[in-house]
Amino acid sequence: MKKQWILVANGSLARFFSRTGVGDPLVPLETIDFPEGRLKGSELARDRQGHESSDNSSAAAHFEPHTSTRKKVLHQFARELAARLEEGLVDGEYDALWLTASNPFLGELKAALNQAVAARLQWSHDADFTSLDVGTIETRLRDLRMPAR
């Protein structure tokens, strides 16, 4: 039987679970808290955006960032989680991976996965289950994977 990891995440919290089969109960492995993901964009920006002025003019040029600070923070957390997933795969801790994460964080997370981890990804869904208890997560996963007919 393939050992499976399930990652339930949003932009500020990730919960890792494992199980040996699809019908088996989830076993909590690890929780990673990322408090920066809860901050608003204005709280994340520590420095004022760059300004430039010359002595010859009273006008100033204003330089906007190409990527929002919030998006950079989410990208950083996605890379951190992807690194943990890679570590688990290299250590032989799982053979199959399921992801459920809030939208748009799921896209950030999937984009951060390396080729080996992405090859183990069997299923993903855009929903935030981070605040749910383990039993409710199991029920939601079962219902999503095997909807009633």
Give pLDDT, residue 51.
Answer: 44
What three-state secondary structure class fits 9?
strand
Domain presence at residue 129: yes
Q: Does residue 132 fall inside a structural domain?
A: yes
Q: Establish if 105 belongs to a structural domain.
A: yes
pLDDT at residue 45 in the model? 52
pLDDT score at 141: 94
What pLDDT does residue 127 have? 97
Task: Tell if the pTM clears 0.85, that is, is over it.
Answer: no
For residue 25, the enclosing domain spans 4-38+64-145
Q: How far apart are CA 87 and CA 121, in angstroms?
A: 15
E-strand spans in 2-135?
Answer: 4-9, 13-19, 27-33, 51-53, 60-62, 96-101, 121-126
Which CATH number covers residue 74? 3.30.420.60
Q: Which amino acid is at 7?
A: L
pLDDT in tens, the chain (149 residues): 689 999 999 999 999 999 998 789 999 999 999 987 676 655 445 544 444 444 555 555 555 555 588 788 999 999 999 999 999 999 999 999 999 999 989 999 999 999 999 999 999 999 999 999 999 999 999 999 876 54
The separation between CA 35 and the C-alpha centre of its own chain, rounded to angstroms, equals 13
Domain count, the chain: 1
- Predicted local confidence at residue 95, as pLDDT: 97
